[in-house]
């Protein structure tokens, strides 16, 4: 079944000119870009996006990192896109990420881990709607 997921290329990656290399891995892995935009998040937007983590010890650092520079948000579509995107990204911590994944190759640390991807059908729906209107998404 075709599925959509939200992908974010984070400030640590855009600042190091890694956008193209990351998109190449996503597309090369079989994900189709059906929407894309560049944004510079405000503190309020970043806080709203990551509201589920607001009580975590890493929350303040996460928000500071997310507003440090521009991000690229994309809607990616494929069969089982959520799981496929997470496989291509690799685990949250680059130390344990698998060879060839985005995070293994490009992430600096858990806090500066280059990409975000939706982790469930529910979060994909929420995160896509957070950044895109339906008429900004193409098949
Ligand atoms: P992301 O997939 O964007 O979701 C939440 C982010 O919080 C995560 O990637 C990491 O960048 C960051 N983070 C920092 N520390 C942790 C941690 N201990 N566990 C999970 N996420 C963390």
| Owning domain of residue 22 | 2-136
The residue contributing the CA closest to ligand 1 atom 1 is: 116
Number of domains in the chain: 1
pLDDT beneath 50, residues of the chain: none
Residue 66: the pLDDT is: 98
Residues with beta carbon inside 6 Å of ligand 1? Answer: 53, 58, 62, 92, 110-111, 113, 116
pLDDT of residue 93: 96
Output the CA torsion sign for 130, 132, 15, 17: positive
C-alpha 30/C-alpha 63 separation (Å) is: 30
CATH (domain of 71): 3.30.70.141
Is the pTM of the predicted complex or chain greater than 0.85? Answer: yes
The pLDDT assigned to 81 comes to: 98
How confident is the model at residue 139, as a pLDDT? 85
């Amino acid at each position: 079944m075709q599925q959509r997921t939200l992908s974010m290329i984070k400030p640590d990656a855009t600042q190091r000119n890694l956008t193209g290399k990351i998109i190449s891995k996503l597309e090369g892995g079989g994900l189709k870009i059906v929407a894309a935009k560049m944004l510079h998040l405000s503190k309020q937007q970043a806080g709203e996006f990551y509201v589920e983590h607001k009580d975590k010890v890493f929350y303040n650092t996460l928000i500071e990192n997310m507003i440090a520079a521009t991000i690229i948000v994309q809607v990616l579509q494929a069969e089982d896109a959520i799981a496929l995107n997470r496989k291509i990204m690799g685990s949250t911590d680059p130390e344990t990420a698998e060879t060839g994944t985005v995070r293994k190759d490009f992430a600096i640390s858990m806090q500066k881990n280059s990409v975000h991807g939706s982790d469930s059908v529910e979060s994909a729906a929420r995160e896509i709607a957070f950044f895109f209107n339906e008429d900004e998404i193409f098949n």
